[in-house]
Amino acid sequence: MLKPFLRTLLQWSYWAAWSIGLGLLVLSVQFYVSFDRLAAAEQALTPGEKSLGVAALAMIHLPRILVTGASGLSIIGVGTLGWALYRRKFSN
């Protein structure tokens, strides 16, 4: 009774982890593209028009890019580890 439940739970957790991880990686790429566009727009301004500068924009935007990318890779790693445990435990 417990073995089919665990099998189903591990299968679903594997796919959920991969879906969430890939979603976070896509979000990280979107953050990077938005930062790249903001930095290009800031560099195109003349020195008198600049408000923050590219360094300040990097300090604001790069941590969230790194955090979402790293968390996406971590979640994919956990999903892969769960899949390996599933294959080891329930392979017949």
29-81 tens-digit pLDDT: 999 999 999 888 888 887 877 777 788 888 888 999 999 999 999 999 988 88
**Long-range residue pairs from 48-57, CB within 8 A, at least 24 positions apart, any chain:** none
């990686």: which residue's tokens? 25
Q: What is the DSSP letter of 84?
A: H
1 pLDDT exceeds 70? no
Per-residue pLDDT, averaged over 8-30, amounts to 87
Measured over the CA atoms of residue 20, residue 24, residue 29 and residue 34, the dihedral's sign is positive
Q: What is the pLDDT of residue 14?
A: 79
Q: What is the pLDDT of residue 2?
A: 66
